[in-house]
Amino acid sequence: MWYGHAGKRVLDLPFYPKAEMAKAARLEEYGADPFGGGGTYYVHTSLCSTDEGREACAAFEARHRLVSLERRVLPAAASLPWLPLATATVDVELLRVDPP
């Protein structure tokens, strides 16, 4: 699960076509917990570091029991010149969503 839209910003994750993956869902399209927790993973993407996406990501993260599996701090690089990022770095993290 991840947020793929926030304001004018769009983010898509590059899933390998032959990878064995049961389901993938953008939260704004399928609701706050489309798979009911347990065996579910959430990606805190660079969109969560933007003014437009920060609130939605924080709200989801506050409502769920999350276990960090991998985290990186990366240099912020805007993919669209007319939508610059306000920070020098972005946090990207893969988290497991544990049942309540």
Give domain status of residue 33, yes or no: yes
Give domain status of residue 17, yes or no: no
Give domain status of residue 28, yes or no: yes
Give domain status of residue 68, yes or no: yes
Give domain status of residue 18, yes or no: no
Q: What is the pLDDT of residue 41?
A: 81
Tokens of 58: 């924080």
Distances (CA, A) of 9 to 15, 16, 51, 67, 82: 19, 23, 10, 27, 11
Give domain status of residue 47, yes or no: yes
pTM given for the model:
0.72
- Using CA atoms, how far apart are residues 100 and 16, in angstroms rounded to an integer? 30
Q: Could you report the per-residue pLDDT of 66-96, keeping only the tens digit for each?
A: 999 999 999 998 888 888 888 999 999 988 8
Q: What is the chain written as a DSSP string? A: -B--EETTEE------TTS--S---BHHHH-S-TT-SSSEEEEE-GGGGSTTTHHHHHHHHHHSEEEEEEEEEEE---SSTTS--SSSEEEEEEEEEE--
Question: Residues 22-29: what's their mean pLDDT?
Answer: 56
Quote the domain boundaries for residue 82: 5-11+23-98
Number of domains in the chain: 1
